[in-house]
Amino acid sequence: MNPAPSVKTLMIDGKDVSARADQSILDAARENAIPIPTLCHLDGLSEAGACRLCLVELKGTPRLQPACVTLVEEGMEVTTQSPRLEKYRRMVVELLFAERNHVCSVCVSNNMCELQDMAKQLGVTHVRFPYRYPRLPVDTTHERFTMDHNRCILCTRCVRVCTEIEGAHTWGVFGRGVDAHLITDLDIPWGTSDTCTSCGKCVQVCPTGALFEKSKVGMQSQKNPDFLNYLNEMREIER
């Protein structure tokens, strides 16, 4: 048996909380009903630290830290809401919109998209950065699913669910910086992939209109990532 992990005490937004040493600031905050905005985090998957929406302030350091990949420490003093954090979170969302082509009014995920919701939640009413308008492909080769690179925010939820839960390792990230994009297997059309089991898990966890089921549009395209918690619970019981 593993030794019980030690307990840390810390302060989040002036509130005394305790957490296991292996918990992130995000975990500790959510357990105490302190909300921190996130996009790449998804309960049931490993953390990627990809979106930077969960940035928080730590006393004693000028650098902002992502709450999802920063472990709690004894005596930490965390601030989750401040004008500075709001400013950066809004910038993150605006940059996501400016980076690719988001045309909500004609998107399959219109009105059920986590990026769109986040913009509203953070009060983003317009994007101050110039839009890039890159020319990006749409992969329609899979029998049931479509990948629209125009809407991808590179959160890597799909990569993680395919690797960690389905065990298929179909998705990967190719290239760096602004050229980074998703690929299936060794950069072949999704429909010709030997590894994809067509389980649809990547579609269900995708927060935006990047991955969707071909037969479903509008209100039918609602995603249900909750299966993850169920699967993980069942696995815990087996062990």
Partner 1 sequence: MSKATLATIWLDGCSGCHMSLLDMDERLIELSPQFELVYSPLVDAKVLPRNVDVALVEGSVSSDEDEHKIRLIRSRARILVSLGDCAVTGNVPAMRNSFPVDALLHRVYIENATLQQQVPTERLPVLLKRVRPVHEVVTVDVFVPGCPPSADTIYSVLKELLAGRVPDIAALSRFGI
221 near ligand SF4 (CB under 6 A): no
**E-only strand ranges, 67-133:** 77-79
159 near ligand FES (CB under 6 A): no
Q: Which of residues 38-97 bind partner 1 (CB under 8 A)?
A: 97
Exposure class string for 191-219: b at 16+ Cβ within 10 A, else e:
eebeebeeeebbbbbbbbbbbbbeeeeee
**Only segment of 83-91, 198-206, 213-221, 228-236 that touches ligand SF4 (CB under 6 A):** 198-206
Closest distance of CB 50 from partner 1, Å: 22
CA 206 to chain centroid, in Å, comes to: 8
**Beta pairing class for 15-20 and 55-58:** unpaired
Q: What are 148's strand-pairing partners?
A: 138
Q: In whole angstroms, what is the distance from residue 14 CA to residue 4 CA? A: 27
Question: What track of x and - describes contact with ligand SF4 for positions 44 through 73 (by CB under 6 A)?
Answer: ------------------------------
Q: Which is nearer to ligand FES, 56 or 168 (CB)?
A: 56
Pick one of 11, 49, 88, 91: the residue that binds ligand FES (CB under 6 A). 49
| Binding-site ranges for partner 1 (CB under 8 A) | 97, 101-107, 110-111, 113, 116, 119-120, 122-128, 130-131, 133-136
